[in-house]
Amino acid sequence: MSVTELFNKAAPKRVDSITIRRPDDFHVHLRDGAMLTAVLPFTSAQFARGIIMPNLVPPVTSVAAAKAYRERILAARAATSDFQPLMTCYLTDATSADEIERGFRDHVWVAAKLYPAGATTNAHHGVTSIPALAPVLERMEKIGMPVLIHGEATDPAVDIFDREAVFMEQSLLPMRKRHEGLKVVIEHVTTAETVDIVRAHRSNTAGTITPHHLVINRTSLFQGGLRPHLYCLPVAKREHHRLALRKAVTSGDACFFIGTDTAPHRRTAKEAECCSAGVFGGATALQTYVQVFDEEGALDRFESFASVDGAKFYGLELNSGAITLERRESPVMAAVAVEDTEVVVFQGGQTLPWSVGEVRP
């Protein structure tokens, strides 16, 4: 066999487009009012469904509030959009197990979100003691309702880059032991250690991983100066953690799936003395994810990560229809207008190598 034949046999065939079942986003912040109207079209253009975060002001803590918020989202859709919002309950110290079960049984919400009090945006109403929440978690375990966890310790003595690791050790693992049958999603995983925890408990534990945590590390926050539009919680970690996340999402392990954590804030809130946490990745999510899978030589595993594994974990039917992603340069807008200001887009102003093509419902 000639050298040329050997090379041609070893070289992978270039793939210029892939068509996958329509995907879902299992972690979306749409906000409300003018912001909802401005950002919803970007998520609904890429995803058939989205699990909507409940940390509004005030938070979505009741069945009635969830129904009303869902109606506002549906009203904000384009006339041609079939995007379906999947609602969640914001857990507090006062959450009623009966209210949780009523909302789940009536198909108002698909999961409940556990924010440690003070952990992130609008989380000051969150849970102050996970052990004290046991009656609610026991009910959720009984009815098969997932709990979605923002996994960060909030003790100010804990270094911000260690908050996830400390929470896993002090809170997640003890909770996992107390409630062995509870379905748990560890949201926006950022460390190699949490990847290992998800895998070790994969029978009823999953992890979402954002596009931005696959692209940036903590150095990115300070390259050429402070980059407030890359600041999110949990904050990006060291490079070896980023590489571990890329291996996790492209591994084919069904315990990892899409959760963009797209979290828009007005430019004035990001470029402020006290910067708000959140990255608006809704406009570039699939382009970023597919680029990562391409770079890792795992395009054949992208559909499962994007369109299958999350739905199966939640017990949802798989979407019909398809979406095509093309190896075609995609210039990204720098920002999205919202009233008299704007929201900066993740990787905005750049040209990405992949584009979103045809969407077939």
Does the annotation list 150 as a binding residue?
yes
Does the annotation list 30 as a binding residue?
yes
Whole-prediction pTM value? Answer: 0.95
Q: For residue 1, tell me if it sits in a domain.
A: no
Could you list the residue range(s) of the whole structural domain that residue 274 is in?
18-360
Does the annotation list 31 as a binding residue?
yes
Does the annotation list 124 as a binding residue?
no
Q: For residue 13, tell me if it sits in a domain.
A: no
The CA-based diameter of the chain, rounded to the nearest angstrom, is 73
Q: What is the CATH number of the domain that holds 126?
A: 3.20.20.140
What is d(CA 47, CA 44) in angstroms, rounded to the nearest whole number? 5
Does the annotation list 27 as a binding residue?
yes
pLDDT given at position 3: 47
Contact 285/25 with Cβ under 8 angstroms? yes
Q: For residue 11, tell me if it sits in a domain.
A: no
Does the annotation list 213 as a binding residue?
no
Does the annotation list 229 as a binding residue?
no
Q: For residue 329, tell me if it sits in a domain.
A: yes
Q: For residue 221, tell me if it sits in a domain.
A: yes
Does the annotation list 188 as a binding residue?
yes
Does the annotation list 233 as a binding residue?
yes
Tell me how many domains the chain contains: 1
Taking only the tens of pLDDT, the chain with its 361 residues reads 554 454 455 556 889 999 999 999 999 999 999 999 999 999 999 999 999 999 999 999 999 999 999 999 999 999 999 999 999 999 999 999 999 999 999 999 999 999 999 999 989 999 999 999 999 999 999 999 999 999 999 999 999 999 999 999 999 999 999 999 999 999 999 999 999 999 999 999 999 999 999 999 999 999 999 999 999 999 999 999 999 999 999 999 999 999 999 999 999 999 999 999 999 999 999 999 999 999 999 999 999 999 999 999 999 999 999 999 999 999 999 999 999 999 999 999 999 999 999 999 9
Smallest Cα–Cα separation from 243: which of 216, 204, 264? 216
Active site residues: 261
pLDDT given at position 13: 80
Contact 134/170 with Cβ under 8 angstroms? no
Q: For residue 187, tell me if it sits in a domain.
A: yes
Q: For residue 268, tell me if it sits in a domain.
A: yes
Tokens of 234: 């949990």
